[in-house]
Structure 1
Amino acid sequence: MRRRSFICAGIGAMAAVATIAARSGMRRHSGAALAFGTTIGITLMHDDARQAQLAIEDALSAAQSVDRLMSIYNRASQVYQLNRDGVLARPHPHLLAVLAQARELSRLSDGAFDITVQPLWQTFSAAAQQSALPSDQQRRRAHGLVDWRQLDFDSRQARLRGAGMAITLNGLAQGYAADLALAAVQARGVRHALIDAGEFVARGRRRGADPWTLGVRDPREADALAATLYIDGCGVATSGDYEAAFTPDFAHHHIFDPALGDSPTELASVTVLAPNGMLADGLSTAFMVMGRDRARAMAAQLPGVDLMTIDKQGGVWRSATFPPTA
């Protein structure tokens, strides 16, 4: 799954938290677990320690369940089985929800978002193990297997029409996991929470009147920030060419343009704010493929969506209502 694109700015000094706790009864609670090949984390403010702990356990369990269903590596996952067999009986409702979002994003983006790009990832990854790029013939063969319209699904089965086709939900699953985790903490009565499943969702405040804070990393300097965001009531996701690059110049990386059969050439990173984590996750991938101008036009038509793009020359563009940066 996707590697970290954000740096959490954290809750603040413990002395400050203690002061708030004494005034309001709110205390900071946190927990973490392994999923998506990384560590996922839950941070919340709540006045009942027992309920807070139960909320964290429920949230982590919900996120891990998405990983178990949608991993492309776990032989027991439904996505692995679909890729292996070309057909899957009785898809889980969570998988159906993510597949439906994928289809809608493919339609809205005119195919720029496409979960059937997995053969391209496999082909480039195999070549990278030999410190090479795929041959033109290898790339054309993989490219010929990419077409989101060749995936059929309903509650009875999911089916890939073409032999050798495969899907990846890496552009949606972590955002969906964050959404489920947030729903789990809210079901326990928690109103102030930050969910980090590789993509982020946040509700309420981190302490007092202070909003949750995220730092967006610079696409070319791993220890530098391109922006610091104050967020509440939204999902946040970043896609970048640096996350899994096949070449040192970042020209070839883990995001693929389905029209090219290779990586998009304009942008180094895209950060998206959206009403939920899954939509932010998917749009960040779609917008990387579409480039700034097409992404800007599409975002303007979607309620509650804002974006920041950074091109390969370092040029930054933000939509008009993108949150002010600290």
Structure 2
Amino acid sequence: MKGKLSRRDFIRITAIGAGILAVGGITLKELLVEPELKAYTETRALLGTFITIKVIDTDEGRAEDMVRSTFTEINRLSGILSRFDPTSQLYRLNKTGQIMNASGELVEVMVKSVQYAELTSGAFDVTVLPMLELNSESFQKHNTPPSTGDIAEVKSLVDYRMINISGKDITLAKTGAGITLDSIAKGYIVDMAAGLLKDRGNDNVMVEAGGDMSLSGTSQDGDPWKIGVANPRNNGYCQIINSGGGAIATSGDYEAAFTSDYRYHHIIDPRVGLSPVDLSSTTVLAGNTTSADALATACMVMGKDEALALIENLPDTEALIIDKNLNSYRTSGFPTE
């Protein structure tokens, strides 16, 4: 991520003589004091992870209503973009290789996915699903990575240029190809949820889904939000960031590892067919969570040097990269400790 009105400071009235000037039975201090800010937080299991929404408002009941109606919208979007839900549009696209008259949300995410694939020269590629499934099955059955021959056979199905989008119609050029939006849909849904809350008049909001986070305004005490960047090898944090708004996403080998040494995990280099070997985690700050989500995954695949060069050239975007030896590298604008 690359102003806030403090609500902590109460107006002080200097008493004259023995007491405070009262108006109509109510002290002037009581008339001028700002309403107390309250926080309403709710967490639900959705999209294969936990989603948390926190709203800061003077009316806790109103905040609760906003949060619950936002979860209704998240459920609707999940029903479009989930690859696991047999009723979703993405599931139908993967099953049949095409979907006609797709929803605007699916089209938008697919268009953005192709754009990020082009930006990263294929390091980010949502057609990696067959290769991800190959790796997952190989480790589940044999506890080993897939063979060179198996990778070569599946590799022909992985190429973002096989995605054809014409208006609201989406087709995949090869039978057996498949799409995973795991590395962009969460960020997109977080953005949509945060935008909905802002449209309803709340400026102090945190929406988080599995490490993808959108922030606006301030926390309950009127200070900037404090965000912990996870240490990829323990339950602590490697850095705390103060943020008054924007988006942050982290992608790491520890999130769903196939092996205990984190050598093989759920992030697959679509150009190679196996997990990238250099990095433990990447954290990206950006203007929106969709970008942060996609770029965090791309950086994991690209490796330190290529990733840092990419992020340095993107406006309003910064990155923290941690390698397998837990050495940290930052772009020039990433907050220092």
TM-score by length of 2: 0.87
Deviation string, structure 1 residues 281-323 (Cα, Å, up to 9, x no partner): 0000011111111111111221110100000111101122112
Q: 1:250 Cα shift? A: 1.7
CA contact 1:51–1:188 (8 Å) conserved in 2:
no
Q: 1:215 Cα shift? A: 1.2
Aligned counterpart, 2:74:
63
Q: 1:71 Cα shift? A: 1.1
- Select which of 95, 109, 116 maps to 1:105: 116
Q: Which runs of 5+ in 1 are unaligned?
A: 1-15
CA contact 2:104–2:168 (8 Å) conserved in 1:
no
CA contact 2:97–2:172 (8 Å) conserved in 1:
yes
CA contact 1:203–1:232 (8 Å) conserved in 2:
yes
Deviation string, structure 1 residues 67-116 (Cα, Å, up to 9, x no partner): 21111111111111111100111111111111111111111111111000
- Select which of 273, 282, 290 maps to 1:261: 273
- Which of structures 1 and 2 has the bigger CA Rg? 2
Cα distance in structure 1, aligned partners of 2:49 and 2:221: 30
Cα distance in structure 2, aligned partners of 1:215 and 1:266: 23
Instruction: Kindly report which structure 2 residues correspond to 1:1-326, keeping only aligned pairs within 5 A, or say none.
Output: 23-130=34-141, 131-198=143-210, 199-221=212-234, 223-325=235-337
Cα distance in structure 2, aligned partners of 1:63 and 1:284: 22
Q: 1:156 Cα shift? A: 3.2
Q: 1:224 Cα shift? A: 1.7
Cα distance in structure 2, aligned partners of 1:232 and 1:146: 39
Q: 1:154 Cα shift? A: 2.9
Cα RMSD for the two superposed structures = 1.9
Aligned counterpart, 1:6:
none
CA contact 1:69–1:79 (8 Å) conserved in 2:
yes
DSSP 3-state at the match of 1:254: coil
CA contact 1:96–1:154 (8 Å) conserved in 2:
no
Q: Which amino acid aligns with 1:52?
A: A
Identity, % of aligned positions:
33
After superposing the two structures, state which structure 1 stretch, 31-40 or 171-180, moved more: 31-40
Q: 1:23 Cα shift? A: 4.5
Deviation string, structure 1 residues 115-159 (Cα, Å, up to 9, x no partner): 000001111111121223222222222222100000011333110
Q: Which runs of 5+ in 2 are unaligned?
A: 1-6, 11-32
DSSP 3-state at the match of 1:129: helix
DSSP 3-state at the match of 2:254: coil
Q: Which amino acid aligns with 1:89?
A: M
DSSP 3-state at the match of 1:164: coil
Cα distance in structure 2, aligned partners of 1:60 and 1:235: 19
* Pairs aligned (count): 307
Cα distance in structure 1, aligned partners of 2:226 and 2:79: 29
TM-score by length of 1: 0.90
